[in-house]
Structure formats: C-alpha cells, structure tokens
Amino acid sequence: MTLQFSLENASDELVKAFKSMAKASGAKLKVQTSPQKNSEQKDSWQNEYKKLIKDYKAGKIKAHKNTKEAFEEAGLL
C-alpha cells in the first residue's frame, strides 16, 4: 500500500502516530523534511508578514469585524 500526502509544520507526535499506523497496517512510510531550513522558513514568513502589513496600511487588504461580514462581501452568503 502506498499513501502520499503532505503535512506542513507537523508535530513529532503526529509523525510518530502516522508511522505507527503505517507499521500496524504493514505499509511503509517515508518522512521527508522540508528543503528549506528553519531559519530560511522563518525569514520567509517574516517577509510575508511585513508585506501583508504594508498592503493593509496601503488599503489593499480590508479587515472585517467577523467572518459573516467577510463572506457577505465576497458573495458567499
């Protein structure tokens, strides 16, 4: 049996649980780490955060008081 899926920021406990489940069912599980190093990923997130704040202050991103308001504006309700 082969199962392919992707998890980001998975805790060690979750990975152990998947390994145990695979072992119990006779399947194999290979865990791959992200090609980005943690410090690179942190820098990437910081850059995204700074860009979002800049766009928000420039009025490109609108904040909503609640999800209902956001969904109504988007035409989803």
List pLDDT tens digits, range 29-75. Answer: 777 766 666 677 788 889 999 999 999 999 898 888 899 998 998 89
List pLDDT tens digits, range 14-32. Answer: 888 888 888 898 887 777 7
4 band by pLDDT with thresholds 50, 70 and 90: low
- pTM for this predicted structure: 0.40
Residue 1 pLDDT greater than 70, yes or no: no
CB 3, CB 25: distance < 8 Å? no
Q: Report the C-alpha gap between 9 and 57 in whole angstroms.
A: 29
